[in-house]
Chains A and B, each alone.
Chain A
Amino acid sequence: MTETNIGAPIKRVEDKRFLTGRGRYTDDLNQPNQLYACILRSPHAHANLKKVDVSQAKAAPGVIDIFTGSDMAADEVGSLPCGWQIHSKDGSPMHEPGHPPMAVTKVRHVGDQVAIVIAETKSQARDALDIIEVDYEVLPAAINMDEALSGKALVHDDVPNNMCFDWEIGDKEATENSFSDAHKVVSIELVNNRLIPNAMEPRAAVAQYDPSNGNYTLHTTTQNPHVIRLLMGAFVLQIPEHKLRIISHDVGGGFGSKIFHYAEEAILTWASAKVSQPIKWTAERSESFVTDAHGRDHETKAELALDKDGKFLGLRVSTKANIGAYLSTFGSSVPTYLYGTLLAGVYKTPAIYCEVKTVFTNTVPVDAYRGAGRPECTYLLERLVNKAAKETGIDPVEIRRINMIQPDQFPYQTPVALQYDVGDYPRAFETALKASDYEGFSSRRKSSEDNGKKRGIGISTYIEACGIAPSAVAGALGARAGLYESAQVRVHPTGSVTLYTGTHNHGQGHETTFAQIVSDTLGVSIDQVEVSHGDTGEVQFGMGTYGSRSLAVGGPAVLKACNKIIEKSKKIAAHILEASVDDIDFKDGVYSISGTDRELAFGEVSLAAYVPHNYPIEELEPGLDENAFYDPLNFSFPAGCHICEVEIDPETGEVEITDFTAVDDIGRVINPMIVEGQVQGGLAQGIGQALMEGCVYDNEGQLLTGSYMDYTMPRADNLPNLNVSTESVLGASNPLEVKGVGEVGSIGAPPAVINAILDALSSLGVEDISMPASPSKVWQAIHNAQ
C-alpha cells in the first residue's frame, strides 16, 4: 500500500468527475418548481436611492415577485457581519458601518444590490430588471484613497474621513532610534495593484424553504459552508443552525473570493421563504467583476535603515489599504494581521514599525485573495531589499545572505508579534541560486544583448504565516471565531471509511490528500476511503478552507480522529484475541499480539464493532466512528526563494519570462504531484499580478476593467516551464509536520518578476516600474528614462 501512502505522488481521485463533466456545481442543481432570480445592481458608485418603483416590473410576464432593500429592512434582516475586529492606535474599535444585503437608502459602489426579481425563467427575470424604475440622486464618489481620506465625499455618513481604522504594530520608538543610528536609509514608495479574482465558476446559489418544517437549505459556492451558516444564520437572518443547511459541493475555484458571506446568499435564502419555492441565482461574469471581493490595493511608503556593512537596523512602513465600500468578512484582518506581522520576512531586522490606514471607498469591497496580506508584504520587502542592494552597492544575493535568519536562531521571535518555529532559509536560498544557474546569468545576458534584448534576473525570498490559526492567538488579535478544524472518521462495518472534513475542497485535492492520510494511518486501501465535505448536514463542523489551512489544521484533525479509531479498535482486537490491549500492535491495517503470529484484519475488527457478538460491551460502545477537533499550536511558516529571469524587447516593451525557479519549504509533503500543481497555479497568479492584471476605476467609480477585454488574465502561453521544487524543514506546529502550500506561489512571484524587469532595464536608467508591468508601461519606462 506504500504507493498511496503519505509522500506518494498519486493522481487526484476527484479529477475523474471534473474531467468527465460529472462535477456537482451549484448551477448544475435544479429543484422541482425552481424559480430564477436576477439582481438589479447600481450603475452609480454613490447615490441616494430616492425611489425604487417595481410596480410595472411586477406585472411583467413570468415575474413572481420583486423585493428591495426596504422589504428586507421591514423584516429586520441584519447587516452582513465582519469576522475580525481591529482596534486603532488610540484603542478605539474600527468603524463598522452597516452592510445591508440590499441597499436601503444609499448605493455605495457600482454593482451594489438594489432589487431582486424572481421569475419563472431566467430571461423573464432579466427582462423585468429593465423596467424597474430607480430614481438615483447621484452623490460625489470617493474613489482613490487620498481623495477618500480628505473626507469630501463620505461613503458612510458616520465614518469621518472614510477611515475604518488606523492600526499599528511594532515598536515605534525602537524603530525611530534605529534610523538615527543608521549609516544609510533607503526608501521606497509603491502600489500593490488591485486585483479582481476570477474563479472559473462564477458565484451561484440555490435557496429553498420548506414551509412544513421551517427548514432552509442553501446550496452556494462557498469555501466554508459552516462559516456561512454561522454568519448568515446568527447575524443576518436569525435562523438557528438546526434549521439551516448550507451545501457547497463542487466549487470551481475560490482563491479566497468565495470565503466571504455574500449578500446574494442572504437575499436568496430570505426570499425563498417569501415565495415558498426554490430560487436559483447564478452570477454573470460581468456581475462577478463588480461583486466578488477584490484583492490587494495598497499604497505604501517604507524606509529601511542599514549599518555600514549592509545589515538591516530598522524598517518603517506606512500603508494605506483600500477596503472598498463595505467591510467584507475578513477585510479588516488582511491588511493588518496577515500583513504587518510578516514584515520581518526572512531577515533579522531588529526593529520594525508599521502603520496601516484602511480606507472606505465607493468601490467593490476588498478582502482576501490568494496570499492575502502576505503578497503585499513580500512585494514591499523584496523590492526594498533590492533597492537597498543597489544603493549600497552590495550584491542582491549578498545583502540577503548578510541579513537572513540563520537555522540556529529558531525559534525566532520577530519584532512584529510572530514567532517563527522552524526553518532553514539559507538552504532554500542557496538551492534556488543553484537551480536557476544564477552564476551563469552574465553569459545569458550577453547572448540576449547580442540579439538586441535586455535580460534581467530577480530574486525574492518570502515567509508566510499560514495554517490559520491558533484560536487563542487569533482571538486575542480580534478574530470573532475559533480557527480550529474538525474531522470525523466513520469506519463502516466491512472496514471501508468515510472521512468528513470541515475543510472545503475547491481544487486543492483534499479528496486525495486526506484519503492518503487515512489510508496510511489506518492501513486501508485508498479506494476504501471516501472524503465528504461541504455539507453542514453531513459534516459536524468546520471553519473551511483559506489561508493554506486545510492540511496544517484540518490534516491533524484527520490524524487525531484516525488515532482515536486505532485506540478503540485495538481494545476490540485485544478482546477478540484474548490479549491485553498493551500487547496489541497495529500496523498496516493488521492487529497482532506482539511477538506472535496471531492477528486480525482491520475489516474483522470493524465488523465486530458493528456486530458485537464477541465484544467488550461493558467497557466499549459498539460502532467505530470518531470525531476530532484540532486547534494548532502556532501558525506554520512556509518560506522559500523564487528567482525569475526575463528577456525584454526594448522596441516593444514586451517581457518574456524565460525561466522561473521556485524552491519552497512547505514542511512534510503528502502528495508531491498536488504540491507541484499548487505551486504552479500560485506562480501563474503571481506572474499575472506582476505582468497583466490590474483593476482600474475611473474618477466616478465606474469599473473600466470590467471584462476580459480590459482585464488580462495570464494564459498558459504567458508562462515558462516552471522549475518547481521543495526544500523542506518539517513543520513544528502540528503532528503531521506540514506547513501549507496553497499561497506560496502568489506570494513569492510578483517581486521576483519586477526585480528581474528592473535588473534588465537598469542599464537604460529605469529605476521603478509598477505592476502590472504591461508592454506599454515597460516601453514608456524605457522612453521616459532616456
Chain B
Amino acid sequence: MEMSGEYRIEASRQTVWDALNDPEILKQSIPGCEEIERLSDTELAAKVVAKVGPVKAKFAGQVTLSDLDPPNSYRISGEGKGGAAGFAKGGANVSLKSDGEATILSYEVDATVGGKLAQLGARLIDGTAKKMAGDFFKNFAEVVTESKDLNSTENLNDADTNKVNHDINASKRPKIGVGSWIIGLIVAAAVILAIIVY
C-alpha cells in the first residue's frame, strides 16, 4: 500500500519534543503499544498488539532512521514480525517545514504485508493504517496537553485520496529546545510503527 499525509502541529517544538522524547508517552500514544525502546540514536524497537480485520497479533517492530538531513528530511524504514500472522515492512520519506510557531510534517509511506495479514487483511490495510495514524495523533495530543487546552480535529479523508490531514493543537509549554527535525522524526517513527504493525 501507499499512503501520504501532512500534519500541522500547533505546538512549540519543545513541548512536543518533551512529550515525544518520553518513551512512556510514546507508548501511550501508539495504539496497542506494549513496549517501546530506543536502541540508539537511529533505532527504535517496539512491541505492538494490532488487529486488522480478523487478524489480531503481537508485532515486534524495528525502525531504522537513515538519510538524516536535520532539520529537513530523512527516511525511516522498518519491519514488523507478527509470528504466524505474517509480517509488515515498509518505509517513509519524511520532510519538515516550519510554519511560524507550528511545524508541518509530511510523509510518504510505502508498505507491504505478507502471510495471513495479506491473505485476510489486504483490503482492510489502507483503512486500518489510516485509523492507526489517526489514533496515534489523537492519543498523542491528549497526552501532551494532559487533556486540557486540547483542540484536536481529525479529518480522515475518504479512502480514494489516501490522504490524511491532521491538525493538532497542543498547549504551549516551553521546554528545552530541540531541532524540529527530531519532533518529526519521532512522530514519523511512531506513524511508521503504527503502519508497519497494523
Interface on A for B, CB 8 Å cutoff? 38, 40-45, 110, 126, 129-132, 286, 289-290, 698, 700, 702-704, 706-707, 709-710
Contact = CB atoms under 8 A, between A and B. Distances in A.
B186 interface: no
Contacts of A129: 83-84
Interface in B60-113: 82-87, 112-113
Nearest to B124: A709
Contacts, number: 64
Nearest to B118: A702
Contact of A706 (B83, B112, B120): B120
Given A40-B84, A126-B84, A698 B118 contact: yes
A30 B29 CA distance: 47
10 contacts: A38-B84, A40-B84, A43-B86, A43-B115, A110-B119, A129-B84, A130-B84, A698-B122, A702-B113, A707-B120
A132 B118 contact: no
B87 A43 contact: yes
Closest 4 CB pairs of A and B: A43-B115, A706-B119, A130-B83, A702-B118
B131 interface: no
B123 interface: yes
A44 B84 contact: no
B122 A43 contact: no
A41 B118 contact: no
A40 B85 CA distance: 10
B57 interface: yes
Given A130-B57, A130-B83, A710 B123 contact: yes
Nearest to B120: A707
B83 A132 contact: yes
Given A110-B119, A289-B119, A706-B120, A44 B83 contact: no
B123 A709 contact: yes
Contacts of B54: 707
Contact of B118 (A38, A42, A126, A704): A704
B62 to A, nearest CB: 13
B58 to A, nearest CB: 7
A38 B84 CA distance: 10
A129 B57 CA distance: 11
A702 B122 CA distance: 9
Contacts of B82: 130
A576 to B, nearest CB: 68
A706 B124 CA distance: 13
B5 interface: no
A122 B174 CA distance: 54
A345 to B, nearest CB: 38
A351 B96 CA distance: 70
Interface in B107-142: 112-120, 122-123
Contacts of B84: 38, 40-41, 126, 129-130
Contacts of A42: 115
A286 B123 contact: no
A162 B9 CA distance: 53
Nearest to B84: A129
Contacts of B58: 130
Contacts of B57: 130
A710 B86 contact: no
B119 A290 contact: yes
A707 B119 CA distance: 7
Contacts of B123: 709-710
A698 B83 CA distance: 21
Nearest to A703: B119
Given A41-B84, A130-B84, A132-B83, A700 B120 contact: no
A289 B122 CA distance: 15
Interface residues of B, number: 20
A700 B119 contact: no
A42 B119 CA distance: 12
B83 A110 contact: no
Given A43-B86, A43-B87, A129-B83, A286 B113 contact: no
Given A130-B58, A704-B122, A710-B123, A286 B83 contact: no
A700 B83 contact: no
B114 A706 contact: no
Nearest to B113: A702
Contacts of A130: 57-58, 82-85
Nearest to B55: A286
Nearest to A40: B84
B120 A43 contact: no
A565 B54 CA distance: 58
A698 B119 CA distance: 10
B118 A286 contact: no
B112 A43 contact: no
A709 B55 CA distance: 14
A40 B86 CA distance: 10
B112 A286 contact: no
B115 A41 contact: yes
A702 B121 CA distance: 11
Contacts of B119: 110, 286, 289-290, 702-704, 706-707
Nearest to A136: B87
A707 B84 CA distance: 17
Contacts of B116: 43, 286, 706
A110 B114 CA distance: 8
A126 B83 CA distance: 11
A725 to B, nearest CB: 42
Nearest to A699: B112
**Residue from the set B57, B112, B118, B123 with the largest chain A CB neighbour count within 10 Å:** B118
A700 to B, nearest CB: 6
Contact of B114 (A132, A289, A702): A702
A668 to B, nearest CB: 45
Given A43-B87, A703-B118, A706-B118, 16 more contacts: A43-B115, A45-B114, A126-B84, A129-B83, A130-B57, A130-B82, A130-B84, A131-B83, A286-B116, A286-B120, A289-B119, A290-B119, A700-B114, A702-B112, A702-B113, A702-B115
A251 B135 CA distance: 47
Contacts of B122: 698, 702, 704, 706, 710
Q: Which of A38, A40, A289, A709 counts the most chain B CB atoms within 10 A?
A: A709
Contacts of B120: 286, 706-707, 709
B118 A44 contact: no
Nearest to A701: B114
Contacts of A45: 114
A416 B194 CA distance: 59
Contacts of A38: 84
Residue with the greatest number of chain B CB neighbours at <10 A, chosen from A45, A126, A130 = A130
A289 B120 CA distance: 11
A704 B119 CA distance: 5
Contacts of B117: 43
Most A-side CB within 10 Å, residue of B57, B113, B120: B120
Nearest to A38: B84
Nearest to B83: A130
A343 B74 CA distance: 60
Contacts of A710: 122-123
B85 to A, nearest CB: 8
A129 B86 CA distance: 11
B188 to A, nearest CB: 24
Interface core residue of B57, B84, B122 (most chain A CB under 10 Å): B84
A361 B84 CA distance: 23
Contacts of A40: 84
Contacts of A110: 114-115, 118-119
A126 B119 CA distance: 18
Contacts of B83: 129-132
Nearest to B117: A43
B20 to A, nearest CB: 30
A126 B116 CA distance: 14
B107 to A, nearest CB: 23
Interface string B157-173: 00000000000000000
Nearest to A132: B83
B112 to A, nearest CB: 6
B11 to A, nearest CB: 38
